[in-house]
Amino acid sequence: MKLFIKKVKPILLHPTTLILTLLFLKVIAFRVVVFHNKSVFHIALIEFPLWAFLLSLIVLFVKKRTWTGIFVFNTILSVLFIAIIYYTRYFSTIPSYYDLQQLYQSNSVGGTVGLLSKPYDFLFFLDLLFILPIAYYYNAKKIKSSAKVTRQLAILFGSIGLITTLLAFRQPLIDVSYFAKENGYLQSQAVQVFTRSFGIALASDVNLSEQDVEKLKGNDYVPANEHNSYGIAKDRHVFVIQVESLQGFVINRKVNGQEITPYLNALLKDSTYFDNVYQQIGAGNTSDAEWLMHTSIYPEGMDPTVNVINGKPVPSLPRTLQRNGYGTATYHADDITYWNREKLYPALGFDYVYTNKEIPAEQEIGFGPADEVLFDFAAKQLPIQFKKHEKIYSNIITLTSHTPFEMPEDLQYLVLPDSYDNTYVGNYLQSVRYTDEQIGVFIDTLKEVGLYDNSLILVYGDHSGVHGAPVTKDDEAILLDLLDHPYNLQDRFIVPVIFSGGGLFSGETISHLGGQIDLMPTLLNLLGIEHDAQMIGHDLFHYENNLLGMRYHLPGSSFINDDTLYVAPSAKLPAILYNLETMKEKSRTNKTQQSIDNALKIMQQSDQILKSYSNRK
């Protein structure tokens, strides 16, 4: 024992060991305050080594005034930690080196520093008080750090730090705060420097099977061909109508005694209506919805997916349908270069692409020809395509109900209360009412030409129209009047999903959770066709549980599961959980972190697939 103490004492009392111990305590305090990190083991392995490595370098290389070097290093570190803590308290997200650089220029935090401080913050400077007497003691005794011990410690911490940094590079950077919590603050900065400098995102080599993904959503995987609805629409023609800005709350709703969507409401009698499906687009709006529909892969998020794809052929809905004997066409009455569709459509592999070059420039509203021109054009193409193909897939992307939703007077079919006049929501309802009618006219055409009974039709919304700055207090009042509750995130994010076609469905409404990522697998399932690549979504007719990620419109690592909408902490707001049944705030449960982790894993798998078709290697 005595021998042991004799051996260990010098190491314990070695100046480097002592200052590293103080540093460890400071790093623990930092992690606890910023990340609510409770695992000392995780801190010791992930966060501490790189800071310890830096401090060891000071001891090794600042030979003359070593203690001054240590003191200065620790002072800078205390200031940095406090800056990160204040930033996090203010913005509810961890700052990057980039944000901290900008901080001194901004007045946003400066004025509120007083409000951000907490009584225990001074403890982050406490170690400095200890360093002074320690330095005095060792100087007086003329004890110097052994270069050998310090070198060994530097090598040890440097190696651990290097390994954890390399591991961090293999994780996708979905949410900066989450990433820093899991992989370490300095590691997260290294990854950000790299991605910002080279525009590269490195996703890890996750490899989740469809079974694994289903499990993470809370389901037992069942092969597609064993689902009840498998193949009920076999060999039917397919019409997928993606409706601009169509939100779920307008379906089956009346305003001033009139239905907002009379044609879709009538269609529901012949349909299965999914009334709990969430939009999942990122920065690419309409084009991201097209991507989700045709790949069942999450969009990139912060960039429109069309900007990151490299043009390589993607295993897609059109390609799978082609292999099964379909001729495939897409229709959108806008310029093809908008959202890089000249790159998107070949990547998805459509046989025919019709844009504003082909669709006549008549009755222009907003961006281009009105939806009736679009549908009329699409209907006229059908006989041409039937000359070449026995089965056809038509993908029609409407445009008229696009913000700012201003409709010519003669196309405003709703008689609205005066208070709705010239309001954003009033205009929105008018444009939706117009497009609803054009969908109805198109479906009637399908009936007239005898195609309806032999077709599978999917109608869904691409994303919300009612959100953001144009929504004024007056609009909020109108929405309250219309919905009987204040407009909430559920109202904003749910898009209607209607599967229809003659003799297939009997008007049921299915309310289990879905996302736009589920549209393609659900459609293929009805057709009894299997895709040749992994889809991240699943058949909504079969699976009852779900777990959806959302990014861009919600902060990274937000999720929606069967009972909860979790909004991850954003730059301005702390995390919020909503009970999906009541949309009242609820508190975190043990399941919350599990769902965050699982949703991220699913998105990681999705990003891994996207990576093979993107210019982000």
Region from 188-196, 269-277, 454-462, 488-496 binding Mn ion, contact rule CB under 5 A: 454-462
Choose between 284 and 569: whose C-beta lies nearer to ligand GP9: 284
Which tokens hold the place of 149?
């011990």
Identify whether the C-beta of residue 355 lies closer than 8 Å to the C-beta of residue 335.
Answer: yes
Which tokens hold the place of 587?
């508190």
Using CB under 6 A, pick the residue from 275, 334, 491, 518 that binds ligand GP9.
334
> How far is it, in rounded angstroms, from Cα 605 to Cα 299?
12
Region from 29-37, 106-114, 333-341, 387-395 binding ligand GP9, contact rule CB under 6 A: 333-341
Q: What is the largest CA-CA distance in the chain?
A: 101
Binding mask 272-291 for ligand GP9 (x = CB under 6 A): -------------xx-----
Which tokens hold the place of 84?
């990160």
**Residues 23-37, buried b or exposed e (16+ Cβ, 10 A)?**
bbebbbbbbebbbeb
Is 340 a binding residue for ligand GP9 by CB under 6 A? The answer is: no
Q: How far is the CA of 608 from the CAs of 69, 203, 237, 307, 315, in angstroms?
A: 44, 6, 32, 17, 14
Is 598 a binding residue for Mn ion by CB under 5 A? The answer is: no
Choose between 391 and 492: whose C-beta lies nearer to Mn ion: 492
Of ligand GP9, Mn ion, none, which one sits near residue 455, judging by CB under 5 to 8 A according to partner kind? none
For residue 462, the minimal CB distance to Mn ion (Å) is: 4
How many alpha carbons lie under 13 Å from residue 100 in its C-beta half-sphere?
14
For residue 416, the minimal CB distance to Mn ion (Å) is: 23
Binding mask 372-411 for ligand GP9 (x = CB under 6 A): ---------------------------x--x---------
* Window 237 to 276, contacts with ligand GP9 (CB under 6 A): 244
Is 242 a binding residue for Mn ion by CB under 5 A? The answer is: no
What is the total count of residues that contact ligand GP9 (CB under 6 A)?
8
DSSP 378: H
For residue 127, the minimal CB distance to ligand GP9 (Å) is: 52
Among candidate residues 367, 364, 370, 329, the one with its CA nearest the CA of residue 348: 329
> How far is it, in rounded angstroms, from Cα 524 to Cα 183?
39
Is 462 a binding residue for Mn ion by CB under 5 A? The answer is: yes
Choose between 87 and 405: whose C-beta lies nearer to ligand GP9: 405
Is 338 a binding residue for ligand GP9 by CB under 6 A? The answer is: yes
Choose between 176 and 439: whose C-beta lies nearer to ligand GP9: 439
In the block, which residue shows the tokens 């599961």? 561
Choose between 247 and 557: whose C-beta lies nearer to Mn ion: 247
CA dihedral over 601, 604, 609, 610, signed as positive or negative: positive
Choose between 221 and 338: whose C-beta lies nearer to ligand GP9: 338
> How far is it, in rounded angstroms, from Cα 612 to Cα 550?
21
- The radius of gyration of the chain's CA atoms, rounded to the nearest angstrom, is 29
| Identity of residue 601 | K
Residue nearest to Mn ion (CB): 286
Looking at the chain, how many residues does it have? 617
Is 286 a binding residue for Mn ion by CB under 5 A? The answer is: yes
Binding mask 192-221 for ligand GP9 (x = CB under 6 A): ------------------------------
Among candidate residues 304, 393, 376, the one with its CA nearest the CA of residue 340: 304
In the block, which residue shows the tokens 């219309």? 482
Of Mn ion, ligand GP9, none, which one sits near residue 338, judging by CB under 5 to 8 A according to partner kind? ligand GP9
Which residues of this chain interact with ligand GP9, rule CB under 6 A?
244, 285-286, 334, 338-339, 399, 402
Which residues of this chain interact with Mn ion, rule CB under 5 A?
244, 285-286, 462
